[in-house]
Structure 1
């Protein structure tokens, strides 16, 4: 639906339950993307407090959506609403036909998380974003929404040319997953049931979408899609 530093929001549906991942875009844009069929959405999972992931939380809440986030995210953003559900790392919670567990991300915020989302219909989805490293390895994943933000060498080349400064490059390295680390993570996981990967949160300056797609396909042997309308 939307992916990147300008705003993030993703839609998943197992045929019984629909969820949104992040609320970093205007609710009216979500409605438009879903042909105004938002009544089936049973929850919105939020990973952390940065605006490209949570900017429109109040608007989503006012529209009746249930939001799920860590206490750290809630407090860092100064949110207080009866439709905010506070979650903890490694504690399982359920939304409709989905069983969900949050796990820690490596990002420069209070209490960031990624999610493992399992449907009773057999789908097992990994949603991992805004993390420079994923400390866990997973079995039986069928679908991934995986951040592959940048290529280290390309980013250093952009630093040398003055396109980005050293401070920003250092922050990116300590808060976002690069191509090499994404490939190492994938090689360490059991991919025997994997059907599809959506590459999310690609940097507009420090990534090459088609090259990323090709390399991830070579490693996994499954269909790879670039999220956010960049799959061209």
Structure 2
């Protein structure tokens, strides 16, 4: 499985994956110019785009990609929230195929209209990737995952210290807690879903202000004993 991080932060999220036969973009939260640059101007090689939800750091380029003829897949709620953008509507727990990938969407917990996470399986390599970001927690467990790309947004001690020192507003902190995964929540999920098939874990969407990248990576690596990478850009 090829994994290329185009962006992973509140400034914009987009990840390209490929099994050598099919190429997908996971989220499109960067300006279309940056997405083209990240794809080395081979946007036409994309077989599809999976969008988790309508917030601009995940969906900024959706309209542009649809106009370019790239198939975009998202929930009806996401397309409704994006108003003019219309692509291929998908539903939680209803699998569909894009080339050699089978995609299983599932519901997550976020302040969006109908947010989703994805399990993506390749019929070419047999690999199975979980992609989930922007959720309070993950309401499911999964079997035989080979790759996990998962949000690890904040550490409560850093977040609430930032509130005490006036760097973060309390109402903003409350939203973070209600809509994003903490290090503790991410660790709990990973420990429940680690298996002999799991090859690597990617930590996504770290908060610039409310996280310590090195501490998070070290904590996850120690807990699950699997190679851990932090998605940056």
TM-score class, shorter-chain normalisation, is over 0.9
Partner of 1:61: 66
Aligned residues of 2:194 and 2:224 also touching (Cα < 8 A) = no
Question: Which range moves more in the overlay, 12-21 or 54-63?
Answer: 54-63
Cα distance between partner residues in 2 of 1:219 and 1:193: 16
Partner of 1:115: 118
Detail structure 1 runs of 4+ shifted over 3 Å in the superposition: none
1:149 aligns with 2:153: yes
SS in 2 for 1:8: strand
Q: 1:12 to 1:79 in 2, by over 3 A?
A: same
How large is the Cα RMSD of the aligned pairs? Answer: 1.0
TM-score with structure 2 setting the length: 0.95
Q: 1:38 to 1:80 in 2, by over 3 A?
A: closer
1:73 aligns with 2:114: no
Question: Which range moves more in the overlay, 117-126 or 214-223?
Answer: 214-223
SS in 1 for 2:110: coil
5+ residue gaps, structure 2: 1-5
Cα distance between partner residues in 2 of 1:226 and 1:190: 18
SS in 1 for 2:202: strand
5+ residue gaps, structure 1: none
SS in 1 for 2:66: helix
Cα distance between partner residues in 2 of 1:195 and 1:38: 28
TM-score with structure 1 setting the length: 0.95
Question: Which range moves more in the overlay, 34-43 or 191-200?
Answer: 34-43
